[in-house]
A and B are shown apart, each in its own frame.
Chain A
Amino acid sequence: AQSVTQLDSQVPVFEEAPVELRCNYSSSVSVYLFWYVQYPNQGLQLLLKYLSGSTLVKGINGFEAEFNKSQTSFHLRKPSVHISDTAEYFCAVSDQTGGGNKLTFGTGTQLKVEL
Chain B
Amino acid sequence: ETGVTQTPRHLVMGMTNKKSLKCEQHLGHNAMYWYKQSAKKPLELMFVYNFKEQTENNSVPSRFSPECPNSSHLFLHLHTLQPEDSALYLCASSQGLAGHVDTQYFGPGTRLTVL
Contacts and interface: CB of A to CB of B under 8 A. Distances in A.
A99 B32 CA distance: 10
Contacts of A96: 101
Interface stretch (A17-25, A61-69, A77-85, A101-109): A101-109
Contacts of B103: 34, 46, 49
A107 B37 CA distance: 10
8 contacts: A4-B42, A41-B108, A42-B108, A43-B106, A49-B103, A99-B30, A100-B55, A106-B42
A5 B43 CA distance: 13
B40 A107 contact: yes
Interface of B: 4, 6, 30-31, 33, 40-43, 45, 48-51, 55-56, 90, 92, 94-109
Contact of A98 (B40, B43, B97, B109): B97
Give the one of A51, A101, A108 with max B CB within 10 A: A101
Contacts of B42: 4, 104-108
A82 B43 CA distance: 26
